[in-house]
Amino acid sequence: MAKHHRALGVARTLRPVQPVTLVRPHAAARAARFFVEKFPGRTLYAVKANPSPDLLQILWDNGVTHYDVASIGEVRLVARTLPEATLCFMHPVKAEEAIAEAYFTHGVRTFSLDTIEELEKIVRATKGADDLTLCVRIRVSSELSKLSLASKFGAGPGETKALLFAARQAADTLGICFHVGSQAMSPDAYGQAMERVRMAIVEAAVTVDVIDVGGGFPSAYPGMEPPPLERYFETIHRAFESLPISYSAELWAEPGRALCAEYSSLIVRVEKRRGDELYINDGAYGALFDAAHVAWRFPVTLLREHDSRAKDVGFSFYGPTCDDLDHMAGPFDLPADVDTGDYIEVGMLGAYGSAMRTAFNGFGTDETIEVTDEPMATLYAGLEDEADSGNVVRLGARRG
């Protein structure tokens, strides 16, 4: 992999025709150390957010030893990349064949479920194994998060008692897990969910050994600047300590976005300007899927040798394909004089950006360059590292 000092240098010296992914290993390493050192429990990386083998290795090297996998493809990937890692199969609906391969071939012992049917499937596929950690997923609210995950999975209030009781009989270790939704903007999301956990435990009257608070830990984006992550950890820890659970119970979390959002960004070139619309060479079928389909606003900066003196205005983007759907409404704030041939860095794309890419319409690129400057936003400012802060935007810089 080629290396460069900073994003501006890549644009200036290489003048790339195709989009270029920039990766910042130091940012992912810093995020991993933060969670390992500060989260009051065990950190499982949610692989779906970014399955890059290079990223998986960085997280492992910085103390993340457990991985939340959601498919047999992810199981195989992590097992191949990190043979010593502990894998937890946390998708609540799995093919029986996938469960069997995960258990017998890859040594997976932790499985999530949200129905009796799935419990029976796990028991059959593992041939009645007596060393299972079974995590019952309960449904909780996503009202305090930017993207809901409240409708597809999770046992409802009338279903949890029987399910927990049945899972307790089949499990060596019984857990309860949930997901508050993606980009939780308040620690209260976890406090409210933990109250739901309390009610489920009391109703079922079972001994619970694991509480898994799932994902949802946020990153910083324009208009979505959350409180410090320590506040989330404090809320979770207080709630965990008050639950009626086993004295030796473990606390788990499954961060995805928070561990990898700062890992990568994207350099795109403006191919055409039409008023306040910029036609760029990546889009909805590439790394900017979320910008198009869920109106996510990513930070952007114009990569020019000399700073523009024009005031910032809001632009929308069109991607390179022939589809009208290849549109990112934004607004993305850039200097008013941006024009054809200019380069733009789109930041905070480490989470889901690379993972959602396609080669639709023949567009796409695999070019990746490692840089050592800082990501365009961070929730980990102030942590000791060797990166050069440069002159990039630091949305989270005021949070220690």
CA distance 222 to 74: 31
Half-sphere exposure for 306 (CA within 13 Å, toward CB): 3
Task: Single out the catalytic residue among 88, 177, 260, 322.
Answer: 322
Q: Which pair of structure tokens corresponds to residue 44?
A: 């499982």
Burial 240-277 (b: 16+ CB within 10 A, else e): beebebeeebbbbbbbbbbbbbbbbbbbbbbeebeeee
CA distance 54 to 60: 10
Residue 177 a catalytic site member: no
Q: Which pair of structure tokens corresponds to residue 168?
A: 């307790």
Which residues neighbour 47 within 8 Å (Cβ) at sequence distance 6 or greater?
56, 67, 68, 69, 70, 74, 77, 78, 256
- Adjacent-strand bridge partners of 316: 277
Q: Which pair of structure tokens corresponds to residue 332?
A: 């993305």
CA distance 17 to 91: 39
Which residues neighbour 268 within 8 Å (Cβ) at sequence distance 6 or greater?
19, 280, 281, 282, 343, 344, 346
Catalytic residues: 322
